[in-house]
């Protein structure tokens, strides 16, 4: 692979930001690897983009399938240059005491434990080569709070802490950053913002700014909480 082409691994590529990012990375000549739970959407990505791109049905909240996926990808492609922990879930809008134990667990299992599962199985390969950037998707709500999304806020604040600690553990040459992507009109935003979500950029508009921003990240960014420079991202 030419030196300026990157191997980019993204969780949650079936829709939303993950889908838009993988399409934009591939359009720019990079290799896209990704997972999601929807068989239909993973098959559609496989049809759209053949080898060397690679898509798999993997639920990041389950450690064993993540381990098997990582083993296969590390063998066939090597360690990623850019690892984007993007897969995420938000609770339905409700006060904390109205949210059942299962729904609370689901949000933690995907947003926090899912990110740790992917790090557990992909990062040793990156550390071996002493290169690569890990981006853990946080949120404006990983640095501020709002009513009715307490479980989601808790996981994104945790992602900020987990990523800062990981940054202290990586060898020189690597980086881990928590990333606030801004506010983008996806299924997730429609769930918490309702109709007003439509006044925000589409994932495709966002990816045109986010992907070049992500491609520029390097060792000097290690441990820096970053925000994609789109309109309203710091509101």
Ligand X SMILES: NC(=O)c1ccc[n+]([C@@H]2O[C@H](COP(=O)([O-])OP(=O)(O)OC[C@H]3O[C@@H](n4cnc5c(N)ncnc54)[C@H](OP(=O)(O)O)[C@@H]3O)[C@@H](O)[C@H]2O)c1
Nearest distance in Å: CB 147, ligand X: 17
Q: Which residue has the tokens 């769930």?
A: 191
Interacting span for ligand X (CB under 6 A) from 25-33, 126-134, 168-176, 178-186: 178-186
Q: Which residue has the tokens 């790090």?
A: 119
Measured from the CB atom, is 131 or 224 closer to ligand X? 224
Question: What part of residues 92-131 is at the interface with ligand X (CB under 6 A)?
Answer: 110, 114
- Residue 232 buriedness (CB in 10 A; 0-12 / 13-18 / 19+): exposed
200 is catalytic: no
Name the active-site residue from 152, 157, 200, 206.
152
Question: What part of residues 131-170 is at the interface with ligand X (CB under 6 A)?
Answer: 137, 139
Asked if 37 interacts with ligand X (CB under 6 A), we say yes
* Cα distance between residue 234 and residue 138, in whole Å: 13
Q: Spell out the residues 6+ positions from residue 103 whose beta carbon is closer than 8 angstroms to its own.
A: 91, 92, 151
Measured from the CB atom, is 70 or 189 closer to ligand X? 189
Measured from the CB atom, is 96 or 127 closer to ligand X? 96
Among 7, 9, 10, 17, interactor with ligand X by CB under 6 A: 17
Q: Got the DSSP string for 180-211? A: E-----SHHHHHHHGGGGGGSPPHHHHHHHHH
Asked if 15 interacts with ligand X (CB under 6 A), we say yes
């Amino acid at each position: 692979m030419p030196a300026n082409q990157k191997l980019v691994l993204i969780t949650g590529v079936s829709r939303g930001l993950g889908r838009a990012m993988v399409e934009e990375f591939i359009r720019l000549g990079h290799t896209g690897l990704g997972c999601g739970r929807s068989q239909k959407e993973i098959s559609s990505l496989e049809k759209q983009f053949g080898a060397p791109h690679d898509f798999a049905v993997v639920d990041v909240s389950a450690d064993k399938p993540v381990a098997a996926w990582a083993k296969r990808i590390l063998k066939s492609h090597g360690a990623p240059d850019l690892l984007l922990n993007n897969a995420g879930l938000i609770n339905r809008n409700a006060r904390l005491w109205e949210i059942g134990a299962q729904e609370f667990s689901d949000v933690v299992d995907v947003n926090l434990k899912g990110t740790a599962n992917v790090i557990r199985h992909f990062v040793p390969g990156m550390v071996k080569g002493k290169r690569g950037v890990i981006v853990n998707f946080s949120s404006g709500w990983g640095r501020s709070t709002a009513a009715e999304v307490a479980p989601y806020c808790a996981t994104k604040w945790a992602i900020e802490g987990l990523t800062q600690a990981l940054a202290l553990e990586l060898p020189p040459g690597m980086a881990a950053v928590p990333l606030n992507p801004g506010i983008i009109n996806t299924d997730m935003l429609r769930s918490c913002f309702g109709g007003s979500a439509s006044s925000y950029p589409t994932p495709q508009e966002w990816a045109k700014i986010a992907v070049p921003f992500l491609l520029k990240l390097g060792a000097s960014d290690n441990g820096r909480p970053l925000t994609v420079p789109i309109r309203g991202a710091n509101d």
